[in-house]
Structure 1
């Protein structure tokens, strides 16, 4: 019988993420006196990545609690969101926190949840709770799919209406500088993805027959 605590921990974090995102949105609403522009608020990588993690963690937890098989694509999705949250933690620690930038999360406790707790929880959950099969290496490029779409939208908006979620993506810095940042994000995502995929092969995990692969 599988232990219940991993599922409970994942559901608890999923609830915390939802509360942090909702509370921050309500805070912005009260501060502005009107609902904030959802395209701006939900345009932050931190917010989107956390919401993706919330859905994936909740889905894995529910399937585990109901003794149902976790499909291979969901294991891959869990690997991907683990990478995204680690990127959130790295970017926050190295680029935003030193500049005292909130990164779209001005509420202190919500900022802690979305920028610190989730980037620590996801990789620890991946390494310590090994209820996942080895991920197929052919699925590794999927790690870059969401960041590529997000960056494309952000750059299009920056060029059209001037809004960017983070100062290091501001076209005012020069497109050469922005291109370097984008390449660094892709390289970091692929490198971290390789580590996450490697861990799924090297650390003991459930047999592929139990968890499936994509």
Structure 2
């Protein structure tokens, strides 16, 4: 597995980036044909696209996989474990992607979107296929290094920053699709639609924060167990 797993990572990263590019291309095409000034404002469209946690998570995972694959190929002749900085990156990427898969398939799977605004195959790659690959990476990738439990808190930094950014920016942006004076990347973050308004949104944010911490704990625990089993073997 040590010899071919880096190429699984490279192929997965290429698929994930292709899915991101395909969806971005369609999003820009829709914007360029929109007759309204807010729907065709490309800087806002670009910023909105990369404000989705799903997109950010997939890009982070793809870049991390490419870095990890290059490192592994360069060290293919030794049995050195992945360096700590790389192991931390993998924990973060795995956590974000697994949570992306969980949130999408539990909260967003049944929400209908206007026909033609998503690329079907890209949507499945970003929300199902690539998250599953990250889960398999946690369970089976070679050279796992045991990390301290403090890694869980490191993995929580980006989601917290993203949540704060999202809630601050939301009321500064006109929705490209509706012209409303706010834009939220996900309906469960929109206090104008969630029962209880900001209190209801806070409930979802807390729930997702718990999920992120829980998944990060699981990823770190698996890494520690796998590293310990290799040491004792």
TM-score by length of 2: 0.82
Q: Which runs of 5+ in 1 are unaligned?
A: 209-214
Of 160, 171, 189, 2:191 maps to 171
Contact 2:83 2:145 in 1 (8 A): no
Matched, 1:190 2:198: no
SS at match of 2:110: helix
Partner Cα separation in structure 1 for residue 154 and residue 113 of structure 2: 30
Of 158, 163, 172, 1:160 maps to 172
| Deviation, structure 1 residue 206 | 8.8
Partner Cα separation in structure 2 for residue 97 and residue 141 of structure 1: 29
Partner Cα separation in structure 1 for residue 229 and residue 11 of structure 2: 23
Partner Cα separation in structure 2 for residue 84 and residue 47 of structure 1: 11
Contact 1:45 1:150 in 2 (8 A): yes
Runs of 4+ in 1 over 4 A off after TM superposition: 204-208
Q: Which runs of 5+ in 2 are unaligned?
A: 33-39, 174-181
Which residue does 1:85 correspond to in 2? 97
Matched, 1:22 2:21: yes
Contact 1:132 1:205 in 2 (8 A): no
SS at match of 2:145: coil
Contact 1:131 1:206 in 2 (8 A): no
Contact 2:23 2:119 in 1 (8 A): yes
Change (3 A) 1:39 1:118: same
Compute the RMSD of aligned alpha carbons.
Answer: 2.1
| Deviation, structure 1 residue 44 | 0.4
Change (3 A) 1:96 1:4: same
Spell out the pairing of 1:111-190 with structure 2 (5 A cutoff): 111-161=123-173, 162-172=182-192, 173=194, 174-190=197-213
TM-score by length of 1: 0.88
By percentage of residues, which structure has more helix?
1
Of 201, 204, 210, 2:224 maps to 201
Give the structure with higher Rg (CA): 2
Which residue does 2:85 correspond to in 1? 73
